[in-house]
Structure 1
Amino acid sequence: MGQTDFRFDGTSGVAVAKSKAASVDEAVTELAAQLPSDDLALILVFLSPRYDPHHFIAEITRQFDETQVCGCTTAGELAPDGWDENSVVALAFSRADFSAAVRPILNLDSFRVEDGRRIGGELRHELLRITPQVDRGNPFGLVLIDGLCRREEAVMSAIYASLDDIPVVGGSAGDGMRFEKTFVFFDGEAHSNAALLILLNTSLPFRVFKCDNFEPSPQKMVVTEADIENRTVRELNAEPAAQEYSRMVGIIDAKLDPFSFASHPVLVRVGGAYYARSIQRVEPDGSLHFFCAIDEGMVLTAATSRSLVGSTRDTFAEIRDQIGDVSLYIGFECLLRRLDAEQHQLTRDMSELYRQNRVVGFHTYGEQFGSMHVNQTFTGVAIGRRPS
């Protein structure tokens, strides 16, 4: 059955739908029944890897043949009724409140910085061209990227430099817990080794945000040997990486697994602020494979935790103070935050908090914020309501 129907209500420019149907065709039919069919600037879809991505994007693009449909696969969905899995979530942006310009970035393994800067500049000019003069001046960007491409840092740095002061957030596509292949959707096709840059201009108030629940501890680790291209650290403090990481974060007797890494990320200091660098897995030789770029000589700081629920609730309150009532949060949340919540029996509390605040998006293999690619973070954009 179709889920909660969030049609346009006169003050909000985004409608939301969800399906957990068994087949692609049934899922597309259910989404179409919940969403407006015309006067749309863009449709975004976040798709569980249980569905065939090629079949899905072809069918939903055929269903909404007059609207650009974009999106990606997920490591879990942020649905209207809370955290979910094995579902598809869709957001439809009203043309009355949004204009949208989209550009794919293909063949990321041969990506060059000048390509990203050119694409960002061209898309910024396209958004200005299609946006009525009276509504200009309130844009933001979303980036969706193959979560296994290992090119996020280069792409984000190049894009951010080309967009002047346009704020950008986004997420790295997921593949559940399989880590085999992820997809982004554009023009009726599912692409790997690719990214999407989406620019939206809106007449509604909004804020981009970043939330995490970690603080630096005194424990430091220096990357003394690494395979930079493959994001693998072989030595920390001139000791075998897994052994030294376990010692420094205090889990010597525990088996290293995704739950261990979710509870004990490391931080990197950039420009006076700390950003999480999370570990994906331990290799048979005791090296550590990271979700984010690493480098020899990089100083990693062991993190201490604050309340996951409390820090997220504080972020929502802070945004409401800035822009008033929020109609919707478009969210990109690290898979490891979900695993951390599961480890500490907080899944129900976090899911309910997101339901109450209307967070819609997906669990990621990494998050984008400004020029940064980060981990174990919740980023996104809060869309406010039209003044009554």
Structure 2
Amino acid sequence: MFAQKLIIPALAVVSCVAAQTASVCSQATATINSQADATAFASCSTISGSIVVSSAASGVISIDGPQQITGDFTCENAGGLTSLGSTTLGSIGGSFTLNNLTLLSTLSMTDLTSVKTIAWTALPALSSLTFPSTVSSATSVTISNTFLSTLDGINLDTVATLQIDNNNRLKTFSTQVANITSAVNINSNGNSLEVSFPNLIWAANMTLRNVSSINIPSLATVNGSLGFYGNYMTNIAAPNLTSVGSTATGQGSLAFVANAKLANISMPMLATVGGADQIANNTDLTGISFPALSIVGGAIDFSGNFSTPSLPALTNVKGGFNIQSTATIDCTSFQAEAGSGKVIQGTYICKTTADATTLGSSTTTGSSSGASSTSSKGAAVSYGVNEAVAGISVLGGLLSMLL
């Protein structure tokens, strides 16, 4: 009887502790103001909800114990926070959001491999990541306005959206990703940024600006648009690329605009471009060759200082055809292909000109707007995240680059 009297209160205490632990681990949103608050989660293997590190947090916050957060992990406007991390957390089921953390210099997640969304902005003191297990799974990644010089620790298998912009110290970015299902936008990072997608086979849309080199040896298909604007590389090679956009819809364009050092474009297997094929204001580009290009659903619009373009496989240009070069070019073969029912179905212009700094928006309105009874839809030009008409001027392209 005496033992029973002791056991019953003991069981009550255990039950109470278990209930308190369950309550701590399963809050819809738990707020961490200090390291003491973070330590309260030490007994949780899973946090069934979201964690918010409040703006009042400062110094070092380490959330050790939990292996999984089913919801979001958010930290914003914590101006006194210097270090954030976990030695046990392996996955975040929602968004991992860091924003406006002016003193954060250490971000250490030693076991983290899976996140639904990474959204990091305004981290001016964060120079590197400590992610030794490497994040390989994420559907969306946005990293903007940080002090990061490398993104080592993030190496994705697949991703929907990848946006890397305004990271002025970033020198390299390489990922094993094979498929990008929505968009890539790499823009306004360090001038010497080297980008590598060694295993990328398929992408929906890709836009690159201010990049010093690009490695896409396996890329075979871009379902939307592929655009290179204001970059610093001397060579763009896509040896396995066969198609950009859809010729069935006339959407998805290929653009090379204002790449001052670009001297060579090598896409030997490219056969179709759904929208426009645009080359403009690449001052070092003296030759243009697309040996396998057969069908262009929009317009061909080339402007610069290059010799006669080589397009030997061309069978159908549904939009206009505007080639203007300050170098002497021979338009004889292209002239023979122009006209209703022939290869070039839209407005045709091909000439040597004293000024090829514009893409003929004032002289090739018909071509630019796709004024062809065969395909008015060929007028629509999509450059990654931008929509423009096929015959837009280089000034327009440059303005787009700066936006």
Same fold, TM exceeding 0.5? no
Q: TM-score range by the shorter chain?
A: under 0.3
- Which is higher, the Rg of structure 1 or of structure 2? 2
Q: Which one has a larger percent helix, Structure 1 or Structure 2? A: 1
TM-score, normalised to structure 2, is 0.24
- Bigger relative contact order, structure 1 or 2 (CA pairs below 8 A, ≥6 apart): 1
